[in-house]
Structure 1
Amino acid sequence: MNEQESGGAGKASALVIIPTFNESQNIGRLIDTLRALYPEMLDILVIDDNSPDGTARIVTQIQQFSNAVHLIQRERKLGLGTAYIQGFRFALDRGYRFILEMDADFSHDPAMVGTLIDSAATADLVIGSRYVGNRVNVINWPLSRLILSKMASIYTRVITGMPVSDPTGGFKCFRRDVLAAIDLDRIASQGYSFQIEVNFRVWKKGFRILEVPIVFTDRTVGLSKMTKGNIREAVWMVWWLKLKSLVGIL
């Protein structure tokens, strides 16, 4: 795997990891927004899977004016799970106290990043939840997509017993000791089941998980990365996790 890493270590206590593939229409605006909201608190790591639309080039241009922006360029599209694991290792190696996941398409409100970090003062993993308290806070999704997501959440909770209302949500904040405690090499999932697996492993380690309500707004620019393969993987992944847990080899 040939990767290029750029950007020196910053002094912020938190790092937000943003995987990208063809996000040139969003990434510059998102980085500018995060830098304006959190000029001292937050560093930004973009992990780009060789986007043909020039996403990495935009990040490189921004880096000329900020040492808080980091970039890892990967040689091809390698998946969401491997991107986040690489980002987690980057964060742990550089001593960040809080490590966040965030999408590049503004479906996650940048103004909520501070809330997730503040909430991590009393929890080990904070999840920005679309469904906490049996509410549905989703904008611009077709009904079919909403039903699929909500049913996946219920299915996951019933099979695994994990007390998380939004187990596939990708807007979250970890305390560094959580990621240091789970074996990143054992995480097998990609796509949306990656979120389920990481949550499950954190829960089984006895860490406290807190969900805070967010409003999820479907992307207005660019294309969704969700595939039928992601759905199939999530269906069997919950049973795999349950079995692994029962036999004590998770």
Structure 2
Amino acid sequence: MKTLVVIPTYNEIESLPHTLDRLFEWTPRADVLIVDDGSPDGTGEYADSRAEEDPRIHVLHNTRKGGLGAAYLAGFRWALEGDWEIICEMDADGSHRGRDLPLLLRAVEDGADLAIGSRWVPGGAIVNWPLRRHLLSRAANVYANAAIGMGVADATAGFRAFRRTTLEALDLTGVQSAGYCFQIDMTRRVLAAGLTIAEVPTAFIERELGSSKMDGDIITEALTQVARWGAQRRLQQVRELLGRRRTPAHSGR
């Protein structure tokens, strides 16, 4: 199935070349869209130079840093104007292994509407993460599942493959999450649409080059948004319960 991998970048000049090389090593027929948020370190210019040499690579330049979610949404909109059948998310920092991408593609080809490269299912792994990051990721997924009830082990994972029809079925205009909360938002929307999710065990490798974009604002956004979605879910459950109680019982003859 024709595949496009969307890779958001901001100051990834050190890691992006290695990420592209490893991706094409394992999935040589895939296309790549690099969405650069105006990186001051020359990442966008490097992406342009690679695109001039390789027709599989495309570049979309954002004029300002809008966050992970905005970059992916811009990439999705661009992708849906083409004829790609599978549209993927992948980090530029090397944390997602190119060798694992075929596993996600196979899950979609086998029928999943969304395949998630999961760290927290049997067979998944994290390499070189400090204890604090382990605890933060675990707690975020426990919190999201408790609040929203998704039943997904790794709803915050950013290594994903969407069937084209999945993105077409979602109201992407309503997605406002900017940071890593974007992944939780997309997960809950896929489930709310009645679509299927497959969690594929993959390894997550701590970046060796560049610096992490995780900060306090991103964590605060996730906590606030998940709490709001949880409250909306509870309110909907109460409305449904009251609706059933008000419906008169019908007796058969």
TM-score normalised by structure 1 residue count: 0.90
**Which residue is equivalent to 1:4?**
none
**Which residue is equivalent to 1:131?**
120
The amino acid that maps onto 1:54 is G
The amino acid that maps onto 1:195 is Q
Counterpart of 2:7 (choices 18, 22, 28) is 18
The alignment partner of 1:132 has SS state of coil
Alpha-carbon RMSD across the aligned residues, in angstroms, is 1.4
Counterpart of 1:67 (choices 22, 30, 55) is 55
Distance in structure 2 (CA, Å) of the matches to 1:208 and 1:17: 21
Counterpart of 1:105 (choices 93, 107, 111) is 93
Counterpart of 1:177 (choices 165, 182, 203) is 165
**Which residue is equivalent to 2:251?**
none
Distance in structure 2 (CA, Å) of the matches to 1:136 and 1:233: 26
136 and 39 in structure 1: CA distance in 2 versus 1, 3 angstrom threshold: closer
Would you say the 8 A contact 2:124–2:202 is kept in 1? no
Q: Rg: which structure is higher?
A: 2
Q: Compute the displacement of 1:56 (Å).
A: 1.1
Q: Compute the displacement of 1:190 (Å).
A: 1.2
136 and 144 in structure 1: CA distance in 2 versus 1, 3 angstrom threshold: farther
Q: Compute the displacement of 1:136 (Å).
A: 6.2
Distance in structure 2 (CA, Å) of the matches to 1:70 and 1:205: 30
Distance in structure 1 (CA, Å) of the matches to 2:191 and 2:175: 14
TM-score normalised by structure 2 residue count: 0.89
Distance in structure 2 (CA, Å) of the matches to 1:185 and 1:28: 32
**Which residue is equivalent to 2:244?**
none
**Which residue is equivalent to 1:6?**
none
**Which residue is equivalent to 2:227?**
239
Which structure 1 residue ranges, 5 or more long, are not aligned?
1-11
**Which residue is equivalent to 2:176?**
188
Distance in structure 2 (CA, Å) of the matches to 1:130 and 1:39: 25
Which structure 2 residue ranges, 5 or more long, are not aligned?
237-253
Q: Compute the displacement of 1:247 (Å).
A: 5.3
Q: Compute the displacement of 1:34 (Å).
A: 2.1
Distance in structure 2 (CA, Å) of the matches to 1:191 and 1:32: 26
The alignment partner of 1:202 has SS state of helix
**Which residue is equivalent to 2:44?**
56
68 and 13 in structure 1: CA distance in 2 versus 1, 3 angstrom threshold: same
Counterpart of 2:17 (choices 5, 28, 34) is 28
Counterpart of 1:215 (choices 195, 203, 209) is 203
**Which residue is equivalent to 1:198?**
186
The amino acid that maps onto 1:69 is I
Superimposed CA distance per residue, residues 13-35 of structure 1 (whole angstroms, 9 cap, x where no aligned partner): 11000000000001122222222
Distance in structure 2 (CA, Å) of the matches to 1:170 and 1:187: 16
Q: Compute the displacement of 1:243 (Å).
A: 3.4
Q: Compute the displacement of 1:244 (Å).
A: 3.5
Distance in structure 1 (CA, Å) of the matches to 2:83 and 2:75: 12
